[in-house]
């Protein structure tokens, strides 16, 4: 198959900015779409560079004026050459005059400036446009006249299509009328269904009122259950306290009956046949041991009796403080026979601190409670073990630096100790010495049993 191509009529026209051109000896045919005019712009014979300029072509002809620009692709600029692609309605029959309007900028060196503020119009050039022999006024000389025959065929086809469409419209209208009749019947059915829905809604409202009444009764029962649960929790707390007292009484009974009391040791280290069945109670760790035979010898076996440690509260100091007190965390009063207070962190300016219980003015001061931040200890953990000894005495021991134990604070008499039936209810620590402080970031954990 031969390649496709387009037949174009090109006309070359030189135009000066100032000197008018003579009448050109070329002619266009009205209605043609394949005309191109290449206009070369010069100034006294010197080509004018048009790159970056906005160019418009203005035609004056018998039907008025036409303007061509680059926006619709009918005008392109290449150096000093402007190519005009004339659409069919650009000119009409008769003499035609044309001039170019060239817009440029006084600030064209600025890459961000795009406003053309200088206009220059070239001299005019002209040409002639004639009417085509075949136009809207041409009458056919034979029925095979191609364009008219095509038009008539198209009209006949359109009329046939219109008739078919009209028949389809009439059929659709009949269907619409039938559908409207069906819709009217459906609307009557809908109205009846709406009456049934209203009756059903009235029943639902009645059921909802009954449900609301039942929900109110359930809420009242839930409130009663919550109150009963609070009473149960309170009774459980009293039971736990009584259990702790029972265990402590048992330990004191064991000690009082001469069954063996240990102090400062985690377990008995040896046993004999004569000690079989005897008990030993470790007052520092709250552990109970019994001597049992084992493989030809006699060993001490721990008896699970005393409650395990339970966490009371835990917090972190948000700033350096000289004193902090722990009591009634979250509104809950703790009541324990033993407390374990663990401090993770450092002191600042001083290593001394005083410990007070239950708001007493009597305190025990540790001269070396824990390290200051300047010592750069890798694992700065200090633990105070606070134990009930008698109704008005406690022992406070410091565990610090691994396994080392400072027991210098044993059995300090505290006047306020027995206020709550011998229970420990508040603990406070005060940094002493010169500007002593507990450093921000220290984690404080209090446990009891």
Question: Encoding tokens for residue 246?
Answer: 């029972």
pTM of this prediction exceeds 0.85: no
386/430 same-domain check: yes
- Return the SS3 of 286: coil
CA–CA separation, 81 and 14 (whole Å): 9
Q: How far is CA 442 from CA 170, 317, 321, 385, 396, in A?
A: 92, 5, 10, 18, 21
420/317 same-domain check: yes
pLDDT band at 404 (very low <50, low <70, confident <90, very high): very low
257/320 same-domain check: no
25/111 same-domain check: yes
CA–CA separation, 146 and 206 (whole Å): 84
pLDDT band at 374 (very low <50, low <70, confident <90, very high): low
- Can you give the residue range of the structural domain that contains 286? 253-303
Q: Average pLDDT of 215-241?
A: 87
Closest CA to 314 of 343, 289, 294: 343
- Predicted confidence at residue 168, as pLDDT, reads 93
Instruction: Examine residue 338 and state whether it is found in any structural domain, yes or no.
Output: yes
Q: Interior CA angle at 323 toward 321 and 328, to 5°?
A: 115
Final residue in a domain of this structure, among 91, 111, 130: 130
Which residue did the predictor score with more confidence, 150 or 248?
150
Q: Average pLDDT of 113-122?
A: 79
Instruction: Examine residue 215 and state whether it is found in any structural domain, yes or no.
Output: no
CA–CA separation, 290 and 267 (whole Å): 10
295/314 same-domain check: no
- If you write DSSP's letter for every residue of 27-53 in order, what string do you get? EEETT-S-EEEEEEEEETTEEPP-TT-
CA–CA separation, 60 and 56 (whole Å): 13
């Amino acid at each position: 198959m031969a390649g496709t191509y387009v037949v174009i009529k090109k006309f070359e026209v030189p135009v000066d900015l100032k000197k008018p051109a003579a009448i050109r000896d070329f002619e266009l045919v009205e209605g043609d779409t394949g005309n191109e005019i290449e206009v070369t712009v010069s100034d006294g014979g010197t080509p004018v560079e048009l790159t970056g300029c906005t160019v418009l072509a203005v035609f004056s002809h018998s039907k008025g004026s036409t303007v061509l620009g680059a926006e619709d692709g009918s005008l392109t600029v290449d150096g000093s050459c402007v190519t005009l692609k004339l659409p069919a309605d650009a000119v009409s029959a008769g003499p035609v005059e044309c001039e170019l309007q060239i817009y440029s900028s006084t600030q064209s060196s600025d890459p961000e400036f795009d406003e053309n503020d200088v206009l220059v119009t070239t001299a005019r050039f002209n040409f002639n446009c004639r009417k085509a022999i075949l136009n809207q006024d041409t009458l056919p000389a034979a029925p095979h006249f191609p364009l008219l025959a095509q038009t008539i065929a198209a009209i006949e086809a359109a009329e046939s299509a219109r008739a078919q469409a009209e028949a389809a419209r009439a059929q659709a209208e009949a269907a619409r009328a039938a559908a409207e009749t069906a819709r009217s019947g459906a609307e009557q059915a809908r109205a009846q269904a709406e009456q049934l829905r209203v009756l059903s809604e009235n029943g639902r409202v009645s059921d909802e009122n009954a449900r609301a009444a039942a929900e109110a009764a359930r809420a009242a029962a839930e409130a009663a259950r919550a109150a009963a649960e609070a009473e149960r929790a309170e009774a459980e707390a009293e039971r736990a306290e009584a259990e702790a007292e029972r265990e402590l009484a048992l330990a004191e009974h064991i000690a009082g009956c001469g069954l063996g009391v240990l102090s400062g040791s985690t377990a008995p280290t040896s046993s004999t046949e004569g000690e079989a069945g005897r008990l030993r109670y470790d007052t520092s760790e709250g552990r109970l041991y019994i001597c049992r035979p084992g493989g030809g010898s006699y060993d001490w076996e721990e008896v699970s009796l005393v409650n395990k440690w339970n966490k009371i509260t835990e917090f972190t100091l948000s700033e350096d403080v000289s004193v902090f007190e722990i009591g009634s965390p979250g509104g809950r009063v703790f009541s324990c026979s033993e407390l374990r207070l663990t401090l993770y962190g450092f002191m600042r300016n001083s290593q001394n601190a005083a410990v007070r219980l239950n708001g007493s003015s009597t305190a025990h001061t540790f001269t070396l409670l824990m390290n200051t931040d300047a010592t750069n200890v890798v694992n700065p953990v200090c633990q105070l073990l606070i134990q009930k000894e008698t109704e008005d005495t406690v022992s406070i021991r410091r565990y610090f630096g691994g396994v080392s134990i400072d027991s210098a604070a044993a059995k300090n008499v505290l006047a306020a100790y027995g206020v709550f039936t011998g229970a420990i209810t508040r603990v406070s620590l005060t940094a002493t010495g010169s500007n002593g402080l507990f450093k921000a970031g220290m984690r404080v954990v209090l446990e009891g049993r």
